[in-house]
Chain A
């Protein structure tokens, strides 16, 4: 079945460092891809999405490009801030399945220190 694999955390960075969180997927259809962020004690918020190959999603300085050839959707940010400390989830929604059900990766905890 469909699945999402993302790098294990925690990831610890200093403020202004470059961030990459790797995400790869397996899907039988043509999925849409998402990055969600969860701040402590809160629900998930959509960070960015891409719905077809070569699309680039971007928001708040974060970017990810839908790479069909490598089945990847890596999250990047050029300069992280302390406020970016959170858990990041990569997810997919498969068009071959009814509805909008999301399949999530295990999550990557990011900790940014000043």
Chain B
């Protein structure tokens, strides 16, 4: 079974631009979560989608948004990029919303904002 895939793997943008990252979950998984990983703040939860609806949201500004499609694929968008948005963005999928469900992580998209 194929794992979680994320595209692109690397991105370089400049301040003020916007960016869209894509995530394809494991087949049969209906929940997709996004995390930001930085050396200073560590791993922080952005949001979670299930059945095309945002179910949970972390403490990030409105510039960070996401969506989920009917095939469970998800995208996240960051508008008006800031230098501090440079990070590894990780997508994770799980079967559903049950608390103990294992989350399977993709390799991440490395975003660099210049």
Contact = CB atoms under 8 A, between A and B. Distances in A.
Nearest to A29: B99
B43 interface: yes
Contact of B48 (A31, A41, A99): A99
A101 interface: yes
Contacts of A69: none
A32 B31 CA distance: 17
Contacts of B70: none
B22 interface: no
Q: Which of A31, A51, A95, A101 has the most CB of B within 10 A?
A: A101
A46 B4 contact: no
B48 A51 contact: no
Given A43-B105, A46-B103, A99 B42 contact: no
- Chain B contact-residue range equals 20 to 34
B90 A100 contact: no
B103 A102 contact: yes
A104 interface: yes
A107 B106 CA distance: 18
Contact of A105 (B31, B33, B42, B58): B42
Nearest to B6: A43
Q: Which of B43, B58, B94, B107 has the most CB of A within 10 A?
A: B43
Interface of B: 4, 31, 33, 35, 42-45, 48, 50, 55-56, 58, 90, 92, 94, 97-108
